[in-house]
Amino acid sequence: MTITFDELRQIKHSLPTGSISRIANQLGVENQTVRNYFGGNDLDNGKTVGIHLEPGPSGGIVHLDDDTILKMALDIIESSKQAVAN
């Protein structure tokens, strides 16, 4: 999957408090791995977190090897919007 860096950061900033830990716990990874996925760093203890950055407009282009974390984040954002609407 391909997304702009700015879009990826906006998704991260839209997450409710505690979402990074929630995603990390569900996947059995460290919180920092999830943070790095959202553009903090493309390495976690020397291992890639599955993102590849290319310079370009809107902060550049990000290629995601696995969009599981992204899908979980989008689901959390959508759930929080629905909770507020109700």
> Is 68 domain-assigned?
yes
Higher pLDDT: 44 or 56? It is 56
Measured CA to CA, the distance from residue 18 to residue 66 in angstroms comes to 22
Segment holding 34, helix H or strand E: helix 31-35
Structurally, the chain folds into a number of domains equal to 1
**Is pLDDT at 39 greater than 90 in this prediction?**
no
- Coil, strand or helix at 67: coil
- Mean pLDDT over 66-79 rounds to 95
Q: Are 53 and 42 in contact (CB under 8 A)?
A: yes
Q: Is residue 18 part of a domain?
A: yes
Lowest mean pLDDT among 19-23, 31-35, 37-41, 70-74: 37-41
Residue 71 lies in a domain: yes
Q: Tell me the pTM.
A: 0.84
Distance of CA 28 to the CA centre of its chain: 15
Q: Does any domain span residue 86? A: no
The whole-number average pLDDT for the span 3-29 is 95
Whether 62 maps to a domain, the answer reads yes
The residue range of the domain holding 56 is: 2-81
pLDDT higher at 82 or 16 = 16
